[in-house]
């Protein structure tokens, strides 16, 4: 009987201790989650909530991690320095390091200025009160190609279960392909390859059955090497990459940014950026309406 009482007391104490720990952990988790809620969609009413990473006057410029940190700094660092002069507020380029960090910081509303694809621009406009300022001119069309000697694949549905070379999601080209497949059991297998030229070569070298590339890049490659592939799918015409500004940048400051980056000095500062992602073309003014609805490409991506 005494042993039973001891076990009962011990059980009671263990239960009480366990409950206390659970409550403590739950409180800690709740506090942590509360600090992670960094914005509220504009449709919910009231100002967006955001995490300000540094001083209140500092603005953060960022972009997807499509190159290594040193190359990214060469591309975007001078832009941040120039905009610091233009705005009279410190603008810092922050390299995200990887796609997970980039998306997480974007979703938290940490970035004040971002240059990236149309689907991300659309999502920020709808959810973090960003305003599209400038874009690469012209339409942005993704195509799926196969080797010209491949007679087995004649349309996009036939790449289900087959290897498709492309950037890993959430790259817009890859999402354009996946958007054509509603059945989760009938999906293409995305082979992650870096670099449009390498993606294109993946088809020619037999690494993949198909490849997702921008039409402009395809035309460039086939002008250089001859017509070696065949288009089996052409996506919708979309706006090209754009620069958007968050709610901590006033309308007057947004106008300053647009004028500055379209000026001769601004074009010199953005030359490396435009050479890599803008076909050496001058930026043109844009607005959120041009990107409306394009966040739907992100519907199956975590966090969107």
Give tens-digit pLDDT for 78-118.
999 999 999 999 999 999 999 999 999 999 999 999 999 99
Residue 49 covered by a domain: no
Tell me how far apart the alpha carbons of residues 129 and 125 are, in angstroms, rounded to a whole number.
5
Domain count, the chain: 3
Establish if 111 belongs to a structural domain: yes
**Residue 226: inside a domain:** yes
pLDDT over threshold 50, residue 10: no
> Could you give the C-alpha distances from 112 to 118, 120, 200, 278, 294, in angstroms and in order?
17, 14, 34, 21, 20
Rounded to an integer, the average pLDDT of 19-36 is 36
In a domain, 52, yes or no: no
Q: pLDDT band at residue 245, thresholds of 50, 70 and 90?
A: very high
Query: Taking the C-alpha atoms of 278, 101, 304 and 186 in order, what is their torsion angle to the nearest 10 degrees?
Result: 80
Is there a single domain that holds both residue 132 and residue 250? Answer: yes
pLDDT tens profile 144-153: 999 999 999 9
> Cα angle vertex 92, ends 113, 140, to 5°?
35
**Same-domain check for residues 111 and 65:** yes
Model confidence band, residue 206 (pLDDT cutoffs 50, 70, 90)? very high
In Å, what is the CA distance from 211 to each residue of 72, 85, 145, 208, 224? 26, 43, 5, 7, 18
Q: Is there a single domain that holds both residue 32 and residue 99?
A: no
Q: Is the pTM for the entire model greater than 0.75?
A: yes
Q: Is the pLDDT of residue 20 over 70?
A: no
CATH classification at residue 177 = 3.40.190.10
Q: Is the pLDDT of residue 6 over 50?
A: no
Looking at the DSSP bridge assignments, the partners of residue 115 are 243
105 is in which domain, residue-wise? 59-137+241-298
Average pLDDT, the chain: 85
CB 151 within 8 A of CB 98: no
> Which stretch of 6-10, 39-43, 281-285 has the lowest confidence by average pLDDT?
39-43
Q: Which residue has the higher pLDDT, 162 or 40?
A: 162
182 belongs to a structural domain: yes
Confidence of residue 25 (pLDDT cuts 50, 70, 90): very low
> Is 272 part of a structural domain of the chain?
yes
Residues 178 and 253 in one domain: no
Residue 54 in any domain: the answer is: no
Q: What is the pLDDT of residues 31-80, one digit of tens each?
A: 333 333 233 333 333 333 344 444 568 999 999 999 999 999 999 999 99
Overall size of the chain counted in residues: 304
CB of 205 closer than 8 Å to CB of 199: no
Do 14 and 146 fall into the same domain?
no
| Distance from the first to the final alpha carbon of the chain | 60
Average pLDDT for 137-147: 96
Distance CA 257, CA 297 (A): 28
- Say if 276 falls within a structural domain: yes
pLDDT at 56: 60
Q: Where does residue 304 rank: exposed (0-12), middle (13-18), buried (19+ CB within 10 A)?
A: middle
Q: What is the pLDDT of residue 230?
A: 97
Confidence of residue 303 (pLDDT cuts 50, 70, 90): confident
């Amino acid at each position: 009987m005494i042993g039973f009482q001891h076990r009962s007391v011990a059980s009671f104490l263990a239960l009480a201790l366990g409950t206390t720990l659970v409550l403590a952990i739950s409180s800690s988790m709740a506090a942590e989650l509360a600090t992670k809620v960094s914005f509220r969609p504009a449709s919910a009413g009231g100002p967006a909530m955001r995490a300000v990473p540094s001083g209140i006057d500092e603005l953060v410029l960022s972009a997807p991690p499509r190159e290594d940190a040193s190359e990214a700094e060469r591309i975007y660092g001078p832009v941040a320095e120039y905009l610091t002069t233009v705005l009279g507020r410190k603008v810092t380029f922050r390299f995200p390091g990887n796609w997970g960090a980039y998306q997480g910081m974007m979703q938290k509303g940490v970035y004040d200025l971002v240059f990236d694809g149309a689907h991300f621009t659309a999502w920020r406009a709808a959810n973090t009160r960003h305003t599209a300022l400038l874009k690469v001119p012209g339409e942005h069309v993704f195509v799926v190609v196969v080797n010209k000697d491949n007679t087995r694949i004649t349309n996009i549905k036939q790449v289900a279960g087959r290897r498709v070379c492309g950037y890993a999601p959430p790259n817009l080209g890859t999402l354009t392909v996946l958007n054509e497949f509603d059945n989760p059991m009938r999906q293409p297998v995305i082979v992650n390859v870096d670099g449009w030229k390498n993606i294109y070569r993946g088809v020619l070298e037999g690494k993949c059955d198909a490849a997702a590339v921008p039409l402009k890049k395809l035309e460039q490659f086939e002008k250089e090497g001859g017509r070696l592939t065949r288009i089996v799918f052409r996506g919708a015409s979309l706006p090209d990459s754009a620069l958007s500004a968050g709610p901590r940048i006033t309308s007057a400051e947004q106008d300053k940014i647009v004028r500055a980056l379209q000026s001769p000095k601004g074009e010199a500062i953005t030359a490396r950026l435009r050479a890599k992602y803008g076909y050496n073309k001058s930026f043109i003014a844009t607005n959120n309406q041009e990107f409306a609805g394009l966040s739907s490409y992100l519907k199956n991506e975590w966090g969107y």
